[in-house]
Amino acid sequence: MTPRTSPEVGGMGHSMRRKEDPRFIRGKGTYVDDVELPGMLWLDIVRSPYAHAKIVRIDTAKALATPGVLAVITGKDLEKYNLHWMPTLMSDTQMVLPVDKVMYQAQEVAAVLATSRYAAADGAAAVSVDYDPLPVVVDPKKALAPGAPVLRTDKKDKKDNHIWHWEWGDRNATDRAFDGAEVTVKQDIYIPRIHVSSIETCGCVAYFDKVNDKLTVWMTTQAPHAIRTVFALVAGHVGLEEHKIRIISPDIGGGFGGKVPVYPGYVIAVAASVLTGKPVKWIEDRMENLQADSFARDYHITAELAAKKDGTLTALRIKTLADHGYTDAAANPSKFPAGLFHVCTGSYDLKAAHVEVDGVYTNKPPGGIAYRCSFRVTEAVHTIERMVDLMAHQLGQDPAELRMKNFVKPEQFPYKSALGWEYDSGNYGGALQKAMEQIGYAQLRREQVEKRQRGQLMGIGISSFTEIVGAGPSKHFDILGLKMFDSCEIRVHPTGKAIARFGTKSQGQGHETTYAQILAEELGIPAKDIQIEEGDTDTAPYGLGTYASRSTPVAGAAAAVAAGKVRDKARKLAAHMLEVAEEDLVWEPGKFSVKGAPSKSKTIQECAFAAYTNHPQGMEAGLEAVSYYDPPNLTYPFGSYICVVDIDTGTGEVKIRRFVAIDDCGNIINPMIVEGQVHGGLTMGLAPALYEEISYDENGNIQGGSFIDYLVPTAVETPKWEVGNTVTPSPHHPLGAKGVGESATVGAPAAIANAVVDALWHLGVRHVDIPITPAKVWKLLRDKGVTE
Ligand code: CDP
């Protein structure tokens, strides 16, 4: 797209350098842990070594005798105020601190308040807890088996560990399609529990100012307004009403969905501050973050795909067990307990589909958060992309050809999927074609044949994913009843500079730059003259926050709409100054000129000055506007990724030789930022594909609870990503833009898994669950007699 504005103005399409980076690269960002207040106290948390146990006794005497320790807070203390349990975003309940029993290893058991961080840690170490272990359930299948111990004994009348059943699609039509199918494939796919592992852990500084009767919480949250409302709903009865609460999300070092939920530490810190009237800081350490914060995925999927012999796909059927840990604390839109998993027909024109999901309780921390993914879309994409590949191999067809044959075609948009989504726009064949040309697909297939003859293992994997982002239209999308709109408020100052505030909150995505670029595009005010603010509930307009790549589709659209309102008023001011009718003015970014007399013009800056100095009688002074944008639909970014792997037959190690990623996020605001989003996203897709997994032994002990075992890829493991794009604008978004932040994380794992299976198919391997570790592959090679 050729930019409409000059580089000095810096509207859409300019690779403008990020406005926020000077403070970040100089170490001058303000993260929660940088907040220091006079008289501040520290909180540390005692955690359970057991996954399921009765609490017999908590002995606090030694802790209270530790120098600097002021108090030990237990569930019983919170129970007095009815604050020992709190609601989750999915209307389940979770413990703040337990009174009777713990439900997972590393669960909060008590909190120690002290005058220094070290004293708090010493105090926590001195708390002695007697436990009476209970039977542990970590496998969701066993959790549903008759006779399994019922975990949620707090829920009256709960007789099992089943949370909910949810299904979508036409069961009968799908069953009929399978009954009459010429070819079917069926596969169990496990998508393991993983953790976002953002650079900054979670934490807060809570300060209840008793004089002004106001609670301020600096907090690592992706959704400050929603959190304020939740706090008010939970603690309004003890005086914390919404107008007395201010949530500030300062700079955030990565969120990826993990900073959407409310964690017990936040609540305990607030309670401690309210009780003492002192600021209280709680910051998780790395292991607490990795072991106790909400997890993603953990889906046990059985998928079936039906087709004709010629490769025409006809139907998809999926059954899934969703392991939510001990509570359903997912951050899904309320109507969709399995998130947007039912976008699982992907990029393919399937006529029938049916999907069922059952949520299950186990003795694990809460799961189900998004992890750089629009609510279970990664699980959906992984499933359909694996299944399509399986079908191609089964039929002996090239996986690229089978995809091309079955893609929803450009002329079919807007396209209604078998599961009811209305895809806005797409050109899936165009993206795959471009990826194939860029990587040299035909040549690679020839090379693969030659290598196979020499006993070498090389595989080529494709993932042609469709995303679904921008939650969402208020008729379908809410969280705890809060509709998922988002907002922008613009004020243009007399000198033509501006400030704009949003209901979203960047965690590294570069909103201070890209939002300014959107406004520069719409108003012609240079992006450098526009200050962007997010994250302070006392100043920003109400919004639902940043996750699931919703900022550009929703708040970005709000920016365009609010800018349009500012422009409309500026037009009136220009007409007044130029003494012409509004209809006689022509707009180009930054300037109104008179039709047929272009030398007679007024800049947006002149209009801004007039708004405060020379506005016509009867018009309100000032130049500002606000928009609460309710998107008419979601946006459907897409892409085609091709991955080439070589497998070491001695060690089973998978080496990614090439990875080409073609993304389409509609019109691009900042190409450099989009490229950065795709690079980071690809590495976060590589992570679960080859390295990351949190598992538990049968006693519920976490395996991989530190970075010694939980392998977050670094630059060393990361291959050279070869990225490119196509541009298919969204027809309903005011800027034609779609989201992009999560696309690469969603799309990449299937390309890698497909490449590995492609390398091993001739040996009889049909599927490998991620993470595809050397040990897993080596075992397969040994079983197939390739290695000893
Ligand atoms: O909600 P989140 O910011 O995580 O995701 P996003 O809306 O996909 O945006 C991620 C970053 O990419 C933001 O800085 C966007 O403004 C930028 N972006 C862009 O420049 N052009 C697009 N079409 C989409 C996103």
Where does ligand 1 bind, in terms of residues with CB under 6 Å? 509-511, 514, 546, 549-552, 665-670, 673-674, 677, 737-741
Beta pairing, strands 313-323 & 299-307: antiparallel
Residue 189 pLDDT > 90, yes or no?
A: yes
- pLDDT tens for 120-143 read 999 999 999 999 999 999 999 999
Ligand 1, atom 4: closest residue by C-alpha: 549
DSSP bridge pairs for 598: none
Residue 331 pLDDT > 90, yes or no?
A: no
Q: Which of 94, 222, 291, 517 is catalytic?
A: 222
Residue count (the chain): 788
Beta sheet of 530-534, edge-to-edge order:
530-534, 498-502, 486-492, 624-629
Please give the number of the atom of ligand 1 that sits closest to the Cα of 666. 23
Beta pairing, strands 498-502 & 530-534: parallel
Catalytic-residue membership of 373: yes
Ligand 1, atom 22: closest residue by C-alpha: 668
Please compute the mean of the pLDDT values over residues 337-346 and round it to a whole number: 97
Angle between helix axes 743-760 and 774-783 (nearest 10 degrees) is 20
Mean pLDDT for all residues in the chain: 97
Residue 539 pLDDT grade (very low, low, confident, very high; cuts 50, 70, 90): very high
Ligand 1: residue of 673, 732, 733 to mutate (most ligand atoms within 8 A of CB) is 673
Tell me which fold the domain 32-134+202-283 belongs to. Aldehyde Oxidoreductase; domain 3 (3.90.1170)
Catalytic-residue membership of 742: yes
pLDDT given for residue 646 in this prediction: 98
Q: Which of 372, 386, 501, 550 is catalytic?
A: 372
- pLDDT tens for 611-651 read 999 999 999 999 999 999 999 999 999 999 999 999 999 99
Ligand 1, atom 10: closest residue by C-alpha: 741
Do the first three CATH levels of 21-27+486-629 and 32-134+202-283 match, i.e. the same topology? no
pLDDT given for residue 237 in this prediction: 84
Residue 787 pLDDT > 90, yes or no?
A: no
The two structure tokens encoding residue 647: 């497998």
Please compute the mean of the pLDDT values over residues 300-312 and round it to a whole number: 98
Is 507 within 8 Å of 546 (Cβ atoms)? yes
Q: Which of 373, 607, 643, 665 is catalytic?
A: 373
Ligand 1, atom 24: closest residue by C-alpha: 739
Is 489 within 8 Å of 541 (Cβ atoms)? yes
Closest CA to 360 of 121, 113, 164: 164
d(CA 674, ligand 1 centre) in Å: 7
Catalytic-residue membership of 372: yes
Please compute the mean of the pLDDT values over residues 323-337 and round it to a whole number: 93
Residue 788 pLDDT > 80, yes or no?
A: no
d(CA 519, ligand 1 centre) in Å: 14
Domain ranges, ordered by start, for the chain: 21-27+486-629, 32-134+202-283, 295-471+633-783
Beta pairing, strands 85-87 & 128-133: unpaired
Using CA atoms, how far apart are residues 441 and 703, in angstroms rounded to an integer?
Answer: 39
Closest CA to 686 of 660, 658, 712: 712
Closest CA to 519 of 473, 468, 558: 558
For 241-288, the three-class secondary structure string (H helix, E strand, C coil) is: CHHHEEEECCCCCCCCCCCCCCCHHHHHHHHHHHHHCCCEEEECCHHH
The C-alpha angle with vertex 410 and arms to 408 and 411, in degrees rounded to 5, equals: 100
Confirm or reject CATH 3.30.365.10 for domain 295-471+633-783, answering yes or no: yes
CATH classification code of 21-27+486-629: 3.30.365.10
Residue 765 pLDDT > 90, yes or no?
A: yes
Q: State the burial class of residue 398 (Cβ atoms within 10 Å of its Cβ: 0-12, 13-18, 19+).
A: middle
d(CA 629, ligand 1 centre) in Å: 17
pTM beyond 0.75: yes
CB atoms within 10 A of CB 483: 16
pLDDT given for residue 472 in this prediction: 87
Q: Within 13 Å of residue 434, how many CA atoms lie on the same side as its CB?
A: 19
Catalytic-residue membership of 665: no
Ligand 1, atom 13: closest residue by C-alpha: 509
Using CA atoms, how far apart are residues 719 and 183, in angstroms rounded to an integer?
Answer: 37
The two structure tokens encoding residue 163: 């949370």
Please give the number of the atom of ligand 1 that sits closest to the Cα of 510. 14
Ligand 1, atom 3: closest residue by C-alpha: 551
Residue 218 pLDDT grade (very low, low, confident, very high; cuts 50, 70, 90): very high
Q: Within 13 Å of residue 515, how many CA atoms lie on the same side as its CB?
A: 31
